[in-house]
Structure formats: structure tokens, C-alpha cells
Amino acid sequence: MAGSVMFLAAVLTPAVAASAAEPWWTPLGLRGVAIDAVSAAGKTVLVRTGSGTTMLSDDGGMTYAPVSGNPPIRPPAILRSGADGWAIDASGRVLHARGSGALTLDPASPELGASAHLLAAPAAFPGVVVAVAVDGVVWRRGQDGDWQRGLLLLPAGFPHGVPRITGAAAFTEPLSGTVYLGTDGYSVLSSTDGGDDWIRAGPGLPDSVLALTTDSSTHAVYAGTSDGLWVHHLRALPAPPAYHDAALVWRWVGIGLVSLVSALAGAALLLLALPRMRPA
């Protein structure tokens, strides 16, 4: 079933330790500068600004220096995720390589369009792939190899229209099965079920996200935005307390006793007030 955009403030993500005091998304460097490409590996972060300048950071994205020769930042020709390799060919079909084998056409691959290039494959769910067609439709491949439409964005309101999907990312090591989409209007969307259901996952981010990447070594998702580079570190959201066996029984007994005492106290106060309320 096709997913729909839900305007929630956060996303459930599998547990990886992170500081509870850190915001869900944290701004890094180049505030006020548009970043439309990003690549990260440990403390080394490469970005491409909207003006066409490639810059390098060796301190995790805080400070930058121009890169000699100003090379572009391009995604790898083959996306390696776990034991599999994935790519989109010139006609817009998805190719698949098992292990060290050659790339071959994935049998049920949809026609994404000749300029399609956004692809994500979480290693935590082998065989699952999310790909974005040139018409903006998000396709998802299940572990059974079947491809289905997973998402069609709704308009962001007049005069903006339907936001453009600008990036797709997932962890290529089995840290998390979450897939992330960057959009120029809805910030970041995420799916924890392989692209079937999506929610907004960009609290604090600018609405205009122009690029996304993940770095397994730092458990981080980087977002290039209209206002610099931002980072999110994997973590678990607080869960409601769980009570088991006798603990749960005694909790309900305690709630019942508190309710009973409150009701008796209220009745006593009412009886005390009745003589004063009788007419003279």
C-alpha cells in the first residue's frame, strides 16, 4: 500500500547510543550557504555549495577549506550495501549484483526515467531498495524482489506545488533499516519499513534539504540544506515504561486505591458542607 506523508515531529529509529541532550538535527558549518552535495567518512566531510565550490572539512563538518581543482561530488557508480550492489542504468532501470558478481537487470525493476539517479538500500534489510523516478514517484523493492509504488508527495501549498525529492540515503552497514529522503519543501522524510510508510523526520531542519548522505562509522546522517550542513546521530526515542507480572498488578491496585481514597475524601467534604447549605 502506498505510503503518505504524515506531519510528525520525529521518527522512530533503531537504537544506537547518542547524547540525549543533542537536538534531533544539529547545525554544523557553513550556515547561510546552500549545500547541494555532501559526502562523509569519519571526520572527513566534502560538500558542494550552491555556487559550485567544493569544500573539505577534516573536523566533522565544522570548518572548511576549498578543494584544489574544485572537483564535483558524485555518488559511486555502484551502491554497495551489505553483500549486494545496486545501480541505475542510463535508461532508468535498476541493476543488481549479488556479492562480487556482475550487475544485471533486476527483473521487476520499474522504468524510472533516463535521468533517475536517487537510490537507497539499507543493509539491515537485504534486498530492500528505494528508488526515485524522474516524475517524483518513490518506488520500493521488497525482499521478495517485487517492486511497488511507495510514495507520491502531496503539494506543499500555493505557490510552491509538489516538493522536489533531492536525496535518498540509508546505512550500508546493518546499523538501521531506516531510509531517508531529502525534499526541497518537506525537509527529511523517513521510513522504517522499507519505504511503505513515511513520516517527516526533520525537526529543526530548514524545509529546503538539497542533499543527504549517511556515514556508518559515525552513525550519522548528514543533510545539505539551504542553510548549511546539518547532522543527525542515530538514537532511540524514549519508550513508555513496561510493567510485568506482579509489578503490573500492584500498579493497578495502587491506582484503584488512590481513586477510592479520592472519592471518599470528596464525599466527606460534601457531607460536611451540606448543613451550611440548608436554607434558614
Are 55 and 67 spatial neighbours (Cβ–Cβ below 8 Å)? yes
The predicted pLDDT at position 134 comes to 94
Task: Note the pLDDT tens digit of each residue in 61-109.
Answer: 999 999 999 999 988 899 999 999 999 999 999 999 998 889 999 999 9
Helix (H/G/I), strand (E/B), else coil: 208: strand
Instruction: With a cut of 50, list the residues of the chain below it in pLDDT.
Output: 1-19
Question: According to the model, what pLDDT value does residue 248 have?
Answer: 60
Residue 226 CB neighbours (<10 A): 16
| Domain 2-233 class, CATH top level | mainly beta
Q: Which amino acid is at 187?
A: S
The reported pTM is: 0.77
Region label for 159, one of left (φ > 0), alpha (ψ between -120 and 50) or beta (otherwise): alpha
Beta carbons of 200 and 188 less than 8 angstroms apart: yes
Q: Residue 197 carries which DSSP code?
A: S
Rounded Cα distance, 250 and 114, in Å: 64
The radius of gyration of the chain's CA atoms, rounded to the nearest angstrom, is 25
